[in-house]
A = this chain, B = another copy of it.
Amino acid sequence: MSSSISSFALALAVVLAGTGSLSAQSAPLTAQDSDPRVMGWMQGFPPPPDRLITQPDSNYFSFPKLRWSVCHLREFLPTERISRGLGAPKPLDYVAPHVFADMRAEIDALTFTPMDDEEEMTWEESLYANYTDGMLILHEGKVVYERYFGCLEEDGQHAAMSMTKSVTGLLAEILVVEGALDDTALVRDIIPEIGDSAFATATVRQVMDMTTGVKYSEDYADPNADIWLYSAAASPLPKPEDYDGPDGYWEYLQQVEPEGAHGEAFHYKTINSDMLGWIISRTTGTAVTEMASERLWRPMGAEQDAYQTVDGKGVPFAGGGISAGLRDLGRLGLLMLNGGEIFGQRLFPAEVVEKIRAGGDPAKFAGFPTIPGGSYTSQWWVFHNAHGAFAARGVHGQTIYVDPAAEMVLVRFASFPQAKNGYIDPTSLPAYQAVAEYLMDR
C-alpha cells in the first residue's frame, strides 16, 4: 500500500471509527483554547502553513484539528446530498424571547454531579468540558435553549458521526413496519451476492440490532486489524496499483468472516450499518441519501440539505457519513419524541418509534459502562431508565437524546478530544437528566 493511500486510510479510519488520537498524551487544550477560531485554523488567504488543514494531512481528524474539521468534512471528501427539497423550511417553534432568555440563564446555572462521584458541575461548565459545538434543547415541541461554539453556526453543518447509523436504522425500521422489509429474512435472501460472507446467514433484525456474529476488529495498534482494510476499501481515492482488496463498502461486506454466532450478543460494529444500508437500497431501489431525503429531510421541513460521504463507487457511508444542521437534527428528534409526527403531519407509523423505544434485549448488551442496563435496537441506544430515554450517538460527543417523560429533545454536536463517548458520558448523561428534571418541574 503506497504511503499516500495509507495516510488517507488513516484519516478515513478516524472518520469511520472516530479514533482521533490526542496529539499529546498530556492534558489536551481546553475547549476555549482549542476553539478553531482561537487556533486560527484555515484563516487567511492562504492560511499560514502551520494553520492549514488538508485532506492529504492524515491528522485532519485528530484533536485539535478535528475541532475545525467536524464542520468541514465535505471539503475533504466526496459527498452525496440529502436534499431538503426546494420549498420553504418549516421553522421550529420557540418559546417567547424573554422566556428563552430566562430559561437559558436557569439551565446554564443548573448543577449536577458527574458519574463516578466527581465534583458538582454547572450545565454551562459541562458544555466546555465536553467541547460542545452546538446545543439545542426542545421542550414540549419548542426550542428552549440553543447555543453554538467553535466551528459551528446556526447555518453550518456538523459531522453526525455514528448518529448516521440511527438514521439508517430508522429508515430500515420504517420499511419493516410498513411491510416492505421482512426483518426475519436472511441477508442472503435479500442480497444473494453476499455469498459466503458471515452476514449471509444473519437476519435483517440481527443486522439492525448489531447482534450478528461477524469478525471486525478496530484495534488500531494492529496493522492487520479489519478497520484498515475497511478504510482502504472505503477510500474514494484511486486504489494503489498493488491493491487487491475489496473496493468499496459493499465488496468489503461480501468477504466478512464469522466470529461467534448470530443473535447471541450485541457487538458494536460499524459494518452492520453499512450492511443495513445495502439492504435498504436493494429493498427500495434508492440510495440511503435519497430515502432520507424523501422520508425525513423533505417532509420534516429541514432548513438545510444534509450530506453523506461516499466511497469510490458512490455508495454513501451508512455507518457514519452524515453531516447536518443542528436544528435539522432537532426536527429528527421531534419526530422520534412524537411517534413519527412533526408540525401536525405524520411521516411514518407510530409503531416505528414504539419499537425503537422498547429497545433491544439488555441481557445481550455489555461493554458500555456508562449505559448500564441499556440496549441497542434499530441502530438506536436505549437507556431503559425511568424517563424512557433513547438516543442516537456518535463519537466525539454527538447525540440526539430523546426523553419522553420530560418531553425533551436534546441535540449536541461536539468535538471532544477523544472519540469514545464513555469519556464524555460522565459529564453529559447526568447533565441531560438535570435538564429533564428542571423542565418537568417548571
Contact = CB atoms under 8 A, between A and B. Distances in A.
A210 interface: no
Contacts of A52: 313
B75 A74 contact: no
A285 to B, nearest CB: 7
Contacts of A362: none
Nearest to A46: B250
How many copies of the chain does the oligomer comprise?
Answer: 2
Interface in A288-314: 303-305, 307, 310, 312-314
A282 interface: yes
Given A85-B155, A155-B85, A312-B54, A287 B45 contact: yes
Interface in A69-87: 72, 74-81, 83, 85-87
A74 B305 CA distance: 14
Does more than half of chain A's interface fall in helix, strand or loop, or is it mixed?
loop
A154 B87 CA distance: 12
Contacts of A46: 248, 250, 313, 315
B54 A313 contact: yes
Given A4-B241, A89-B86, A238-B7, A45 B78 contact: no
B56 A304 contact: no
Contacts of A278: 45
A407 to B, nearest CB: 25
A305 B305 contact: yes
Contacts of A2: 2, 241
Contacts of A364: none
Given A4-B239, A5-B238, 12 more contacts: A2-B241, A4-B237, A46-B313, A55-B78, A55-B237, A55-B238, A56-B237, A75-B80, A77-B78, A88-B88, A237-B238, A304-B305
